[in-house]
Amino acid sequence: MAKATKKQALGRGLSALLKDPENDIKAVGDKNADKVVGNIVELELDFIEVNPFQPRTSFNEEQLRELASSIRELGVIQPITVRKLAFNKYQLVSGERRFRASKLIGLTTVPAYIRIANDQESLEMALVENIQRQDLDPIEIALSYQRLIEEIDLTQEALSDRVGKKRSTIANYLRLLKLDPIIQTGMRDGFISMGHGRALINIDDSESQLDIYEKIIDKNLSVRATEALVRSFKDPSAPTKTAKSIPAAAKKQNDLLGSFLNAKTSINMNAKGKGKLVIPFDSEADLARIVKRIQGED
């Protein structure tokens, strides 16, 4: 207990040091810099701005609320990392979800590691930290890799060492950026997987990519079926594997459901009877209509 009290007192002492204009720390060689840089400090949220280099462009609201609930009960277990910009002004390097969740429940301070970093170092830290720790979608990861290569001037070999990934893995992600932007958006929104994207990369022109992409969505094709479709497109004479047929009873149920919902429903099913049912919709209004129909309100 005494140890925890001592740690909290240290945090308050560092916070007071940071608020003293006479002790404004701008570089690692400044007086008292060793007391602040690399230490955990209770930092006011109002002094922190988000990082413009953050590769994540969207945050799952439900997961954010769950994290906020956890922070309310247990506090911020892992400190965020910030870099000092000016007196009482800091910028996030990593930990934006924790930062947002803390603000969501009305906290005024958050534990933070303070770094002295220039824009290039901040960009690299933000990108590498997010690639390693966050569930970025494949396109966000690819864009992060691309920025590290172009803006930090890293080779794929150096990037491989920096992020702890095989060079072939990095190359596979970067190749996704050659896909048509519409397909990239579909991957970011979860309509297709990275496996689908990797199959589509083998088609050179965008128009053909989009034709196959539409078939993937309309027929709810698996990655394996997509790979077969791409092979047949590139070489029409190549033999293709016959897709597994859906049991007659399951097909009948799908037809009945599609008729009931007035929607082109589709199903995939494996040999064990497990599968996936897809109910497409044309707009928000069409989705609302389908939901009402399911609920028996229509």
For 228-243, write each residue's pLDDT tens digit: 999 988 776 655 444 4
pLDDT reading at 141 higher than 50:
yes
Angle, CA of 125, 129 and 132, to the nearest 5° = 145
Average pLDDT over residues 49-74: 81
| Catalytic residue selected from 42, 61, 96, 157 | 96
Q: Rounded distance, CA 174 to CA 77, Å?
A: 34
Q: Rounded distance, CA 253 to CA 273, Å?
A: 14
Q: Rounded distance, CA 112 to CA 96, Å?
A: 12
pLDDT of residue 214: 92
Instruction: Tokens 């992600």: give the residue.
Output: 173
Q: Rounded distance, CA 52 to CA 91, Å?
A: 9
pLDDT of residue 7: 39
Judge whether 96 counts as a catalytic residue.
Answer: yes
Q: Rounded distance, CA 243 to CA 181, Å?
A: 29
In terms of average pLDDT, the best of 30-39, 101-110, 289-298 is 101-110
Q: How confident is the model at residue 200 (pLDDT cuts 50, 70, 90)?
A: very high
Fold classification of 138-234 (topology level): Arc Repressor Mutant, subunit A (1.10.10)
pLDDT digits (tens, 9 = 90+) for 142-185: 888 887 887 677 888 888 888 888 899 999 999 999 999 889 98
Which residue type occupies 219?
A: K
More confident residue, 2 or 286: 286
Q: Which of 9-18, 49-58, 101-110, 261-270 has the lowest mean pLDDT?
A: 9-18
pLDDT reading at 131 higher than 90:
no
Average pLDDT over residues 51-63: 72
pLDDT of residue 99: 92
In angstroms, the Cα distances linking 172 to 129, 191, 199, 202, 203 are 20, 19, 11, 12, 15
pLDDT of residue 38: 62
pLDDT of residue 27: 61
Q: Rounded distance, CA 202 to CA 209, Å?
A: 9
Domain spans of the chain, in order of start = 2-118, 138-234, 248-294
Q: Rounded distance, CA 54 to CA 67, Å?
A: 19
pLDDT of residue 216: 93
pLDDT reading at 292 higher than 50:
yes
More confident residue, 105 or 148: 105
pLDDT reading at 24 higher than 70:
no
pLDDT of residue 251: 83
Burial status of residue 275 (CB atoms within 10 A of its CB: 0-12, 13-18, 19 or more): exposed
Q: How confident is the model at residue 10 (pLDDT cuts 50, 70, 90)?
A: very low
> Is 2-118 a CATH 3.40.800.20 domain?
no
In angstroms, the Cα distances linking 68 to 57, 73, 82, 109 are 19, 9, 20, 14
2-118 and 138-234 have identical folds: no
> For the chain, what's the residue count?
298
Q: Which of 63, 126, 138 is nearest to 98 (CA)?
A: 63
Question: E strands of the chain, at which residues?
Answer: 40-44, 48-49, 80-86, 89-94, 109-115, 266-269, 275-278
Residues 6 or more apart whose Cβ sits within 8 Å of residue 30: none
Q: Rounded distance, CA 141 to CA 173, Å?
A: 7
pLDDT of residue 213: 93
pLDDT digits (tens, 9 = 90+) for 113-122: 887 766 666 6
The mean predicted confidence, pLDDT, of the chain is 79
